[in-house]
Amino acid sequence: MSSNLTCYPAALRSLLLGLSGLLFSFAVLHRTPAEQVKSYYDDHLKRLHAALTHFQQRTYQADTTALRVEFAACRREYKHLEFAVEYYYPHAAGRINGAALPETEPGEPGEVIQPSGFQVLEEIVFAAPDTRANRDLVHQEIDNLLFQVQQLERQAPHLAFSDAEVFDALRLNLYRLAAKGVSGFDSPAAHASLPEAAVTLQATREVVSLFDAPAALTTHLRRCEAAVATSGQDFNSFDRARFFVRYFNPALAALREAQQQRQIPFLATRRAVRADAASFFVADAFDPGFFAPADAAAPTPAVLALGEALFQEPILSGRGGRSCASCHVPTQAYADGLRVNRSLLAEAELERNTPTLLNAALQPDQFYDSRVHFLEDQVHAVVSSKAEMGGQLSEAPALLRRKGAYPKLFAQAFTTEREPVTERNIRRAVAAYVRSLVRLNSRFDQFLRGDTAVLSSREILGFNLFMGKAQCGTCHYLPLFNGTVPPLYDKTESEVLGVPTSADTLHPTLDTDQGKFLLYGIAHQRHAFKTPTVRNAALTAPYMHNGAYQTLEQVLDFYNRGGGTGLGLSVPTQTLAEDKLKLSPAEQQAIIAFLKSLNDMQGVVY
């Protein structure tokens, strides 16, 4: 504009220049909230870079205490950024603050990704001996972190926040705090989960303040901060149950209300947890359809009626005389109460324990070794297994067309198909029925939704132990309590526990089942099995993939001893911490009492 002012009189030129400067100042002072969030992100990214650089410069001079202070400062800076990095750059987030365990990508199961980032660094700084070699590792790991931060800085000019994405990212990050933060998942050695949670909540409050957040939201977030930062409490004594009900849930509700008041839309994206859910604790928060394939049958009453009939139909097993319900007994929480069930092959047993089907739909992988993704594929695999059902789905349609009401049931379920009795529709109907077996209304769920009288003090203590001292919540993630990883719940984790062949603790031997290793031959997956849900666990004994333990007391004793390694077995790939938990008998019983509060057989006909 200034280059064309010479054609105007001097006074007018002066006026136009003044207006130009005023407009520029107005634009700077009145940036949109999303633009201010971008500045907040850029500022803390620079601070993280500076903190890591300072940490690295002191690697060889500072004493151990000073190194730990440097580490804490760096991760506090990351906690200001976590909501955005996890949201926009999940791969970088995994390299910055992922678990200190090797991983493989679903699309490249043979490619092993070695761990990197803060959790690897934390183990060296807080748990490893202070040697020159480990100081070298500290320097190297900070290099890895700086590389990721520099990558984020290169991409920062191209990152644009939207109002809807900011609120979505903040909500997901609060879910992450609840399910992983206060459980100690990402601070296993430093035990700084509570102070880091306070930083996450502070960052949330600072970001929403850029949107002129209602006073109620700011107040609830401050109360959350104060609750996790209360003096005199430590990680083990923190009352998570009280925190979730009294502070966390009201903050989530206030966040949702603030978004609605400002007419900021909820994202239309489909996820495991509905984007517009008031909380991931509410009854309809999870969408089972998220875990289904694109051609899954809609769960209409007709489809579910057909699926339930087929679930109990021995015809699917040919001459085997077995139905799905033979092993997944509805009145036994869709398990069978056996160590392992009988194989259809002569004088043999099945290799693995029968898991419950309740909430089986709420996970992206099926079977103990996660070998299939969809329930439809699991139906095919089980029916065609010579050991399990011994059937041929290709032959089942002809048999079903000649039996009873099946032609009518199929026609009612698949009204647009000329020939509805097909192998594909058998799989789809059974899968839809299993997908309907979602049960998220236990007494514990009711407690989290505000009915605080429904749990006893011992059950509440058990939950706090489960999520804290006992470390159960670092693998059985809240609120599904399985290995599906929050907050997106789009990935299933497997763990190496070192499960023995039996409950004999005097002369234990490692179970020979190689687990997930049998699929791809990856060394760190030897003896790895998918982390199952502990919902309804009190109804589904025996336990573990091989049914080695008959009681929950035996299971708690196994974990309390440090898994297979703690029993004295050689389990070099064990992912379970081998340290003894030092749970007292009373604490173990409290955890069992909590697990029983997860029983939920609503809708099951006896």
**Helix (H), strand (E), coil (C) string for 213-231:** CCHHHHHHHHHHHHHHCCC
DSSP 87: H
Tell me: the pLDDT tens digits for 380-435?
999 999 999 999 999 999 999 998 899 999 999 999 999 999 999 999 999 999 99
What tokens appear for 416 in the block? 């647009």
User: Residue 22 contacts by C-beta under 8 Å, 6 or more apart in sequence?
Assistant: none
CA atoms of 371 and 108, how far apart (whole Å): 14
Q: How confident is the model at residue 9 (pLDDT cuts 50, 70, 90)?
A: low
DSSP 246: I
Predicted local distance difference test score (pLDDT) of residue 605? 47
Tell me the pTM: 0.92
pLDDT mean over 298-317: 97
CA atoms of 604 and 606, how far apart (whole Å): 6
First to last CA, the chain: 81
Predicted local distance difference test score (pLDDT) of residue 23? 47
Q: 3-state SS of 135-204? A: HHHHHHHHHHHHHHHHHHHHHHHHCCCCHHHHHHHHHHHHHHHHHHHCCCCCCCCCCCHHHHHHHHHHHH
φ, ψ (nearest 5 deg) of residue 130: -85, 90
Instruction: Please tell me the total number of residues recorded for the chain in this structure.
Output: 606
Predicted local distance difference test score (pLDDT) of residue 52? 98
Beta-carbon-side half-sphere exposure of residue 170 (alpha carbons within 13 Å):
32
Predicted local distance difference test score (pLDDT) of residue 606? 36
Helix, strand counts (H, E) of the chain: 23, 4
Taking only Cα atoms into account, the Rg of the chain, rounded to an integer number of angstroms, comes to 27
User: Residue 381 contacts by C-beta under 8 Å, 6 or more apart in sequence?
Assistant: 367, 371, 372
CA atoms of 219 and 32, how far apart (whole Å): 23
pLDDT mean over 156-174: 97
CA atoms of 382 and 417, how far apart (whole Å): 26
Q: Are strands 108-113 and 494-496 parallel, antiparallel or unpaired?
A: unpaired
DSSP 7: G
pLDDT mean over 127-153: 97
Predicted local distance difference test score (pLDDT) of residue 18? 59
Is residue 181 within 8 A of residue 200, CB to CB? The reply is: yes
Choice between 27 and 459, residue whose per-residue pLDDT is larger: 459
Mean predicted lDDT score pLDDT of the chain: 93
Tell me: the pLDDT tens digits for 78-128?
999 999 999 999 999 999 999 999 888 766 766 788 999 999 999 999 999
Torsion on CA atoms 508, 510, 512, 513, rounded to nearest 10: 120
Residue 97 neighbours by CB distance under 10 Å: 24
CA atoms of 107 and 219, how far apart (whole Å): 44
Does the structure show a pLDDT above 60 at 155?
yes
User: Poorest-confidence range of 147-156, 294-303, 317-326, 476-485?
Assistant: 317-326
Q: Is 191 left (phi over 0), alpha (psi -120 to 50) or beta?
A: left
Is residue 211 within 8 A of residue 205, CB to CB? The reply is: no
pLDDT mean over 486-501: 96
Tell me: the pLDDT tens digits for 545-579?
999 999 999 999 999 999 999 999 999 999 999 99
Does the structure show a pLDDT above 70 at 19?
no
Q: How confident is the model at residue 25 (pLDDT cuts 50, 70, 90)?
A: very low
What tokens appear for 157 in the block? 């000019």
Q: How confident is the model at residue 320 (pLDDT cuts 50, 70, 90)?
A: confident
User: Residue 298 contacts by C-beta under 8 Å, 6 or more apart in sequence?
Assistant: 432
